[in-house]
Amino acid sequence: MRLGIGKVILLMTLFQLDVVADVSFTTPKQSGSYTQYKYTLLSTHGYTVGSRTWVVLEVRTCEDAYIGLMKNNHVKNHGSIYEVVIGGWANTKTCIRDQRQGSCRAEKTKVVLDCNTYLAFKVSWTGGTVTVFTDENGSWTKLVQWTDTSPFTVRYIGVTTSIYATGYWKIPAQGKID
C-alpha cells in the first residue's frame, strides 16, 4: 500500500509520531536588541513533545544556543518557559533560567560550543527538574541542573541562537537516541 505525503502528514498529526528521520535546519543571526530574539519551534519540523520528558539536539554555533522548554507555542509570547542557554556569554557559561532573559537559577562556567563541529546535548525535564547533559565520548555527562518548586508541563520546544550567531541544528531520529 502506497501512502501519499498528505496521508503521511495526517497520520503523523493524528498519532503525534516522533521524528522518524534526522531533521536539520538553521537559526539565523537575528537583528535588534538582545531581548528581541524569536524561537524556532521544533513542532514546525515535525517534533512533538507528547509524553516525552527529554530532547536530544545537535548544534554547531560559536555561542548562544538557546533551548526553550515552553508551556505555550507562541515564539515570542510563550508564557511559562525554562530557558536553557548553552555557551552564552561568548561561549563561557551554560545556565538554566525560569523565564525569558531571567536570572540564572543554575549555571556552569565552561566552554561547550564549537563554531565548526556539531555537538550533542540532551535536555531533560522531569518533575520540575531541568538537566542539561553534554555528550562526552558517547556518554551523557551532566553539565547543569535546577529544580523548579512550582513546575509546569512542557508542551513545546523552541531553539534560537539569538542576535549573536547563526546556528545549525540537527534533531536525530528519535528511534536512534536515548
Sheet holding 65-70, edge to edge: 40-41, 156-160, 65-70, 81-87, 93-97, 104-109
Q: What is the pLDDT of residue 78?
A: 62
121 part of a folded domain: yes
- Give the per-residue pLDDT at 8: 39
Looking at the predicted structure, is the pLDDT value of residue 20 above 70?
A: no
Q: Is the predicted pLDDT of residue 7 greater than 50, yes or no?
A: no
Please check whether residue 75 lies inside any domain of the structure. Answer: yes
**Residue 174 in this model has a pLDDT that exceeds 90:** no
Give the residue numbers spanning the domain of 100: 34-171
Would you state the pLDDT for residue 102?
93
Mean pLDDT rounded to a whole number for the chain: 85
pLDDT of residue 75: 57
**How many separate domains does the chain show?**
1
CA 145: distance to chain centroid? 15
In a domain, 23, yes or no: no
131 lies in a domain?
yes
- The pTM assigned to this predicted structure is 0.83
Domain annotation covers residue 135: yes
Q: How far is CA 93 from CA 64, 111, 146, 169, in A?
A: 9, 7, 15, 20
Give rounded-to-5 percent helix, strand, coil for the chain.
10, 40, 45
pLDDT at 175: 43
Q: Is the pLDDT of residue 15 over 70?
A: no
**Cα dist. 100→3, 23, 88, 105, 169 in Å?**
42, 26, 14, 12, 21
pLDDT in tens, 134-171: 999 999 999 999 999 999 999 999 999 978 899 999 99
What CATH number does residue 129 fall under?
2.60.120.200
Model pLDDT for residues 55-114, shown as the tens digit of each residue: 999 999 999 999 999 998 865 666 799 999 999 999 999 999 999 999 999 999 999 999
Give the integer Cα–Cα distance in Å for 49 and 7: 21
More confident call, 3 vs 28? 28
